[in-house]
Structure 1
Amino acid sequence: MMNRKRAFWATTALCSGLLVAGAASAQSTGSETTEATNLSEVVVTGSRGARNIDGLAVAETIAKTRNTVTQEFISTQTPGQTILQTLNVTPGLSFTNTDPYGSSGGNIRLRGFDGARVSLTFDGIPLNDTGNYSSYTNQQLDPELIERASVNTGSTDVDSPTAAATGGTINYVTLRPTSDMSGWIQASLGDFNYRRFMGLFNTGEFGPWGTSAWFAVSRQTYDKFKGEGELQKTQFNARIYQPLGDNGDFLSLAGHWNENRNNNYLGPNLGTATRSILPQIETDPRGWDVDFNTAYLPYPAVGGSPASFTGRNGVADVDPSDNSNFYGLRINPSNTGNIRGTSRFTLAEGLVLTVDPSFQYTLANGGTGQTVLSETDRLIRGTLATGGLDLNGDGDTLDSVRVHATNNTNTHRYGLNTSLIWDLDDNNRIRAAYALDYGRHRQTGQYGRINRSNPSNPRFVDWFAGRNDEANRIVNLNGYELRTRDRLSIAELNQFSLEYRGQFLDDALTVTVGVRAPFFNRDLTQNCYSQNASSNVLCTTEVPNAPLANGNVTFPGRGTTQYVAPYQREVKYDDILPNLGVSYRFGEGHSVYASYAETLSAPRTDSLYIVSRQADGSLAAPTVQPESGQNFDIGYRYSSPTLVGTASVFANNEDNRIVNTFDEDLGTFVDRNVGSVERWGVEGSVGWSPIEALSVYASATYMQTELQDDYVYSFTGTTPNILQTKGKELVETPEWMFAARVNYEFTDWLEAGLQAKYTGERWVTDVNDMKVDAFTTVDANVRIDLAQFGYEGTFIQVNADNVFDEKYYANLGTRASATPGQLGYSQPFASVGSPRTISATLRVAF
């Protein structure tokens, strides 16, 4: 048997120069091809991989800061874990996971940028939400199917299809099918009743043209590590690959489907900065295990009628407000899928076309939508003055009953990323690229009923309330389906890019000059009445009063609250963004590089739906402008057969930073531009394999951030209230981070690894009056390879995460201030880091 390290040593021993790593880590087929040494190089096979130390320290050559991990390292981590947790050992990235196995999501901070400002891509297609740009880390590809994953901590690629990323890119690439028929099945068991089963089948090459494909399926279930509830995840994946000749041309089509059904976790309150209110973990008897309620409360006693879980005829039953925190009604469902095409065609010698089309589907909600609805509410009566609906089946319409009223988002997203690449000669290359990202973002919220067949333990009838099951919808007396919202957003990005790549001084000097021009359009349609200068909406069949002089309306029985009738509007953003880089290779394995890129992040959807009627009858809306940024990186790299290292110094200027503040003209809180942020720091990593059996890896990040401006948080009359943020640091951004890993092969069949990640203190508030402690987690893995005993590809692996059971806060619910009486005061909260978790996996190959 040739184990993983021997394969590495055998490869590097044959190499006298540095192999090209850029093409192996780029996100699109166009970038892979452009970064290849020559256009005939096959960049997708993995046969010409970059030097690396156990798949963790991978040599890069492009003129930007990028860190890559491969399946060699990914496979040592807990099966089923999100790829973001695996990447957490790389410099610059702080990822805090919500649970031990990754299905509840987590929080991304990359050089201080939150996940909405970092582009997350899957085989080059953008995964950030088309509305608010959020990244949902629990919905990612099964890690066993990822060939490599990379983090661009500075600039994006010139063809990156994004109107949101001011803070870099995280990308992962799917495995290519093998030439020989093969497969495996595996089963994992672990703490918290963890059960995961997965299978992969490679067809091998078949047919007259050498076609190959693979198919995979996985199913995962486990209990929450605190409180009641469970998490379920089901995933289907496939890829088919067709080479076109022997020059690297190919056609590929891949499909992905993921379903999550998760009980939510409750994050404890952090108290106040003055400790006048103590953190909830100190006051609640459950301590770190504080979570949602496990008991559903009955309707309270009324007069001589005792408390009851079922409705009582003739009694005005009111569902207790505390039931909003019942764990059984805190479920977060999502269905996501995509179809990804990649292709490359040589049109003539030195001329290559790449075409990467895609389609994505999303149906999801946050899992928190429920409300107590009176059976005679105006929403139910509509245009009628009397009547009601018996929502709990007790024969009367006197009650206030809990119903399912969640906000669903359904997105159909079409994408295209294509490049035309022309080699002028052996040393000069030009690329022209076009990217389309078109998202139809439908946001609805049909009310649905709650299943009370077990009245003390109710459940939702439909994961998505009234969306899918028409019989479950709540229809008012006019025949109108009650809903929390009803709007349609079209987000369309058309982006054009040009790039020049030149090599000089016997290929020692590489210069790239690029520019991308994003043209971004949001078409917004609001189908409900909007409360004037508010994010609240009223979806109703009630007949409004006569329009006011300014054009707004009021409703009978709803006081003087003004509403704006349904409307449609459009906003557009565009920019010209340079992307420059230079690298110089000298000596044996030494190189330096520098890069500069400008970025843009367009405003998010929700705030754009807040409108206010002006005195002249016109509609005013937030005038927020896109964020912009300038990224600078200077770095040094070294690569030899046993040592791969990199270090970089970076600086970022972010202008027009968007935060949610009070707008005096609109009279409500909206997104607005509040000033600039400066970031700078140093990061680096090194991998070393002094002997064949041993490898060592370490990474470090030091970063400083500073807000450059105070900003108007609210108004008292016409007097602005200024939040004192100038000179403060960004929330959730540790100043120091360290990671380390040691891997040792004791024999041909026994291997073990130990790794640790230190995350420094993080501010919880914008004014820096509260922070959470630093923490260190340690993980371990042991693998017994059964190939020595005649079972090639079969192994047993044990993973232990957070070995020393560190107690810490993970994701932070940040606030402006945590000091009572101060501007912007509100108590922050946080999720709890997962405890020590042990799992075991058996894989059987065939």
Structure 2
Amino acid sequence: MDMRSAFLRVALSVTTALSVGFSPVVLAAGTHRTGTPHADRHPRHTLPVPQKHHASGPYVSRDAETVAVVARHPPRGAVETVSQKMLAEAPAGTNPMKVMAQLPGITFQSGDGQGLDTWSTQVFMHGFQQQEIGMTLDGMPLGEMTYRNYNGLNPIMAISSENVARIDVSQSAGAESMAASNNLGGGLSYVSMTPSDKMGGTVAAGFGSYSTYHTFLRFESGKLNSSGTKFFTSYMRNDSGMWKGYGEQFMQQVNAKLVQPIGHDSSISAFFDWSDLHQNTYPDISPQIISRVGYGLSSYENGRNSGYIAAVNAANGIYPGKVGTLDDPTDAAYYDGSTNTVDTFGGIKADLRLAERLTWNTTAYGHGERNQTSWATPYFPSPTGSPVSELMKEPEIRRFGIVSALHYDIARNHIGAGVWYENNSYMSPMNAYAQPAVVNGVVQGKVHDPLTQWRDPFAQIFNQNYNTNTFTAFVQDTYNVLPNLALHFGFKSLLSTTNVGDGYLNQEYYGAGAAVTSGESLTVAKPFLPHISADWHFLQDHELYFDISENARTYAESGYKLSNSPFAVSQTAYDDTKSSIRPETAWTYAIGYRYTGKLLAATVYAYRTNYNNRLQQITEGPVVNPISAVSNVGGVTMNGVDAGLTLTPFRGFALTNSVSYNHGVYDQNLVSGATVYATKGQQVVNYPRFMYKGRVSYEWRGMTAYADGSYTGTRNYSYTGDVRSPGYWLTNVGIQYSFGNMKRYSRSLGAIKNLTVAFNGSNLTNKRYVSTMGQNGNPADIASGALTDQSMQIGAPRMFFGSVRADF
């Protein structure tokens, strides 16, 4: 089969611009053998694809290698692909999720321009937040994407953006084969780049507003011997100043990947990641802070003793400027907030062809993380006499697991079955560290730098240990009824048990009589979570599909009052709610139509989700030690539709528009104690009902240019909807030029195979807007503190970026 035929055969499996949903296309036999060197060697029972030019756009990669690897994945519902080409058009070092947010139905929020601030990062897909979206890298589970992750790591800390080959985005209830226990709202499957057959490398440097610098180096070994052994190793460094206040956000990372082919149809590969992240964090704000003080309120830290003295004065009731006009001026700003995280992650994978139609894929992986996240508090004085101390959460993760699956092709059936097991040990201590006293306006000693290692705490505040064993199994079959009609059926079984060890809670901080949940365990057992779908290609350019699936989420884990974990409450609160706590589950029904023509591409994707037993953290009261409960808020019903249109009137030009509508509302009123909150019929918090996204792009020879604009609608901040964040527009532009092989310009530059320069601008209108919401939980209504509750982040202002990249 020649390259043109192979390309056209999989063309419809690539999402056109703004198409939402990739139905289970019947793939060539063996194409599900991810990583196998010759996976397309024996094609049979493939869907016919029209032999004609297809529309291009921001979601269609023209790179033949990128398109080819898309077809190596089994059918798994509504899937779109974000290619390396799309990632490369963003500013250097940008979080791939920020690029992914160009897709309909997805929002990405962050307080910084590159999307790397882990405290403020927030992702939603069709009403589901990031903790309810499964994530993997080369099949290895990344766990829940949360700040202070308890069972995994943020994808940016697992792989550098330049090493991501693609992201497969499943916006239905997620594939049954995914190694995840939280993919209620879909899944993100990161795939790392394969080492090159030829020796070479990449050197890239980026720069931008607010002292942003990015460096990336990658060495490719090429084939080292006749068996085809090859590897790459890379180093990434990203350093950026804060756009408001004082501080920096620094990250460095090492990746390596080794591939050892075995014969023509099998291989063994290994992936390694080490990341080191040190970030000052932007302070949380409230609606009242925005209205009375403004968007620019920052921490007191300014790199000098005067910043610490201002924080001490605030703790003593002396507030600067307009801060004193707030109802809660003490909590308006603290001295500092920081994140220090080191991860080591990796695994070994075997892709083995046991027979002509039988393959076996197995991955063993491990992960360790050490974390220090801090903030200065005016409520727990230091033994030095200072009213300010540093509270430090110091969680650690130790987990290991194995993912294994068999795939067998017989007649018109493509059958798969597999298992995933993981043991995760999570420790969540919290300690207090001393800061120096201030006497007569003079600091008595050295103020501790929050981005360095902290040692010798003067008090233990909290500690709790968790141990979780998770097991899943799946069976699936895709049946080719006709060459252009495929039916898919599969199911997953889930069993997970979390044991909570004896905990410690400092009553001097939390109050007398408080007792943490200890010696408890919860089990989630779901033996049958089905997934059914069908895909029909009819006429020449038309496709119709549907997808139905159920999924479940295991219980979260975290420190006291930090999340919607049923363990993150007092023993009394746990005893009161444990009889009503049930695992969250979701049924999603989706149907879609797609037209792919030469001059235009159009798509409509409609879905309904019944989300049951939704667990929410309800906060009430002051920032320090608020009343926090985890409640079953009942069901959520979401009905939504995405529609997109891409026009390609001439070669290289694409004009894309999409709209997304999500009517996601609570089915019942929220009851907390004796209080009933009128949440029934209210839009779910933090996610807009309406979104619009538009993009115009043009490619000519080595140049690529784009401009995009997006509108994010009103979002509920409180559960009752009496406090909302207004909608906003954002506009971005970018242009890059690839010079190609530099030998054409000078023989002395012949070693440079390609040189690319790029320039990007974000938030061109310098819009001030609320980005992330609910990072500290959401208030119930105004009466319970919605105007003063500090659980918002401000989006980054206008920023510009440039980069130079050379490939050797």
TM-score normalised per structure 1:
0.79
Q: Is residue 2:794 matched to residue 1:832?
A: yes
Q: Summarize the Cα distance change of 1:638–1:11 in structure 2 as closer, same or farther, 3 Å threshold.
A: farther
SS across alignment from 1:363: strand
SS across alignment from 2:287: coil
Q: Is the 8 A contact 2:432 2:461 kept in 1?
A: yes
Q: Summarize the Cα distance change of 1:370–1:108 in structure 2 as closer, same or farther, 3 Å threshold.
A: same
Whole-Å separation in 1 of the counterparts to 2:368 and 2:533: 35
Q: Summarize the Cα distance change of 1:233–1:518 in structure 2 as closer, same or farther, 3 Å threshold.
A: same
SS across alignment from 1:204: coil
| Equivalent of residue 591 in structure 2, options 634, 637, 646 | 634
Whole-Å separation in 2 of the counterparts to 1:457 and 1:802: 42
Whole-Å separation in 2 of the counterparts to 1:514 and 1:700: 31
Q: Is residue 2:726 matched to residue 1:758?
A: no
* 1:372-771 matched pairs, under 5 angstroms: 391-392=383-384, 399-400=385-386, 402-425=388-411, 427-450=412-435, 455=443, 459-460=447-448, 472-474=455-457, 482-505=459-482, 507-528=483-504, 561-562=512-513, 567-575=518-526, 576-606=528-558, 607-608=566-567, 610=569, 612=571, 622-623=578-579, 624-640=581-597, 644-660=601-617, 669-714=628-673, 720-746=674-700, 748-771=701-724
Q: Is residue 2:269 matched to residue 1:252?
A: yes
| Equivalent of residue 28 in structure 2, options 11, 19, 37 | 37
- Give the match for residue 149 of structure 1: 167
The code of the aligned residue for 1:582 comes to A
SS across alignment from 2:97: helix
Q: Is residue 2:803 matched to residue 1:841?
A: yes
- Give the match for residue 297 of structure 1: 309
Shift of 1:529: 5.2
Q: Summarize the Cα distance change of 1:671–1:202 in structure 2 as closer, same or farther, 3 Å threshold.
A: same
SS across alignment from 1:221: strand
Q: Summarize the Cα distance change of 1:698–1:346 in structure 2 as closer, same or farther, 3 Å threshold.
A: same
Deviations 1:77-101 (A, max 9, x none): 0111111101011011011121002
Shift of 1:128: 3.0
Whole-Å separation in 2 of the counterparts to 1:511 and 1:796: 46
Shift of 1:21: 3.5
SS across alignment from 2:740: helix
Shift of 1:370: 4.8
Deviations 1:749-792 (A, max 9, x none): 33312122221111111111122221121111111222265353
SS across alignment from 2:168: strand
Q: Is the 8 A contact 2:577 2:631 kept in 1?
A: no
Whole-Å separation in 2 of the counterparts to 1:168 and 1:343: 26
Q: Summarize the Cα distance change of 1:642–1:176 in structure 2 as closer, same or farther, 3 Å threshold.
A: farther
The code of the aligned residue for 2:474 comes to S
Q: Is residue 2:136 matched to residue 1:121?
A: yes
Whole-Å separation in 1 of the counterparts to 2:722 and 2:58: 41
Q: Summarize the Cα distance change of 1:93–1:172 in structure 2 as closer, same or farther, 3 Å threshold.
A: same
Whole-Å separation in 2 of the counterparts to 1:429 and 1:512: 9
Q: Summarize the Cα distance change of 1:251–1:371 in structure 2 as closer, same or farther, 3 Å threshold.
A: farther
- Give the match for residue 815 of structure 1: 778
| Equivalent of residue 778 in structure 1, options 695, 719, 731 | 731
Shift of 1:226: 1.0
Whole-Å separation in 2 of the counterparts to 1:681 and 1:772: 21
- Give the match for residue 127 of structure 2: 112
Q: Summarize the Cα distance change of 1:670–1:12 in structure 2 as closer, same or farther, 3 Å threshold.
A: farther
Q: Is the 8 A contact 1:269 1:830 kept in 2?
A: yes
Stretches of structure 1 that go unaligned for 5 or more consecutive residues are 1-9, 24-30, 272-279, 302-306, 308-320, 376-390, 393-398, 467-471, 476-481, 539-557, 715-719
SS across alignment from 2:768: coil
The code of the aligned residue for 1:588 comes to Q
| Equivalent of residue 241 in structure 2, options 206, 216, 223 | 223
Whole-Å separation in 2 of the counterparts to 1:530 and 1:604: 23
Q: Is the 8 A contact 1:764 1:772 kept in 2?
A: yes
Q: Is the 8 A contact 1:265 1:291 kept in 2?
A: yes
Whole-Å separation in 1 of the counterparts to 2:716 and 2:310: 41
Whole-Å separation in 1 of the counterparts to 2:654 and 2:284: 38
SS across alignment from 1:494: strand
Whole-Å separation in 1 of the counterparts to 2:221 and 2:32: 25
Size of the alignment, in residue pairs? 729
Q: Summarize the Cα distance change of 1:685–1:149 in structure 2 as closer, same or farther, 3 Å threshold.
A: farther
Shift of 1:124: 2.4
Whole-Å separation in 2 of the counterparts to 1:258 and 1:64: 33
Stretches of structure 2 that go unaligned for 5 or more consecutive residues are 16-21, 41-45, 62-66, 319-328, 559-565, 621-625, 745-751
Q: Summarize the Cα distance change of 1:484–1:501 in structure 2 as closer, same or farther, 3 Å threshold.
A: same
Aligned residues: CA RMSD: 3.7
Shift of 1:642: 6.4
| Equivalent of residue 803 in structure 1, options 764, 778, 782 | 764
Whole-Å separation in 2 of the counterparts to 1:588 and 1:676: 42
Q: Summarize the Cα distance change of 1:229–1:648 in structure 2 as closer, same or farther, 3 Å threshold.
A: same
Q: Is the 8 A contact 1:611 1:622 kept in 2?
A: no
The code of the aligned residue for 2:548 comes to Y
Whole-Å separation in 2 of the counterparts to 1:84 and 1:728: 28
Larger-gyration structure (1/2): 1
Deviations 1:271-317 (A, max 9, x none): 3xxxxxxxx33422xx322111241117989xxxxx9xxxxxxxxxx
Q: Is the 8 A contact 1:102 1:138 kept in 2?
A: no
* 1:159-238 matched pairs, under 5 angstroms: 159-238=177-256
Shift of 1:832: 1.1
The code of the aligned residue for 2:587 comes to Q
Shift of 1:225: 0.8
- Give the match for residue 623 of structure 2: none
Q: Is residue 2:290 matched to residue 1:281?
A: yes
Whole-Å separation in 1 of the counterparts to 2:723 and 2:676: 19
- Give the match for residue 82 of structure 1: 95
Whole-Å separation in 2 of the counterparts to 1:196 and 1:649: 40
Whole-Å separation in 1 of the counterparts to 2:784 and 2:431: 39
- Give the match for residue 79 of structure 2: 66
Q: Summarize the Cα distance change of 1:416–1:47 in structure 2 as closer, same or farther, 3 Å threshold.
A: closer
Q: Is the 8 A contact 2:14 2:60 kept in 1?
A: no
Whole-Å separation in 1 of the counterparts to 2:492 and 2:103: 28
Whole-Å separation in 2 of the counterparts to 1:808 and 1:456: 40
Shift of 1:674: 2.4
Shift of 1:526: 2.1
Deviations 1:702-724 (A, max 9, x none): 1111211012122xxxxx21111
- Give the match for residue 544 of structure 1: none
| Equivalent of residue 53 in structure 1, options 53, 56, 77 | 56
Whole-Å separation in 1 of the counterparts to 2:606 and 2:575: 47
Whole-Å separation in 2 of the counterparts to 1:354 and 1:118: 23
Q: Summarize the Cα distance change of 1:566–1:737 in structure 2 as closer, same or farther, 3 Å threshold.
A: closer
Whole-Å separation in 2 of the counterparts to 1:139 and 1:81: 13
Shift of 1:522: 0.1
Whole-Å separation in 2 of the counterparts to 1:157 and 1:843: 36
Q: Is the 8 A contact 2:677 2:780 kept in 1?
A: no
Whole-Å separation in 2 of the counterparts to 1:448 and 1:610: 24
The code of the aligned residue for 1:637 comes to R
Shift of 1:633: 0.6
Q: Is the 8 A contact 1:438 1:490 kept in 2?
A: yes
Whole-Å separation in 2 of the counterparts to 1:119 and 1:457: 47
SS across alignment from 1:281: helix
Further displaced range: 807-816 or 623-632: 807-816
Q: Is the 8 A contact 2:719 2:781 kept in 1?
A: no
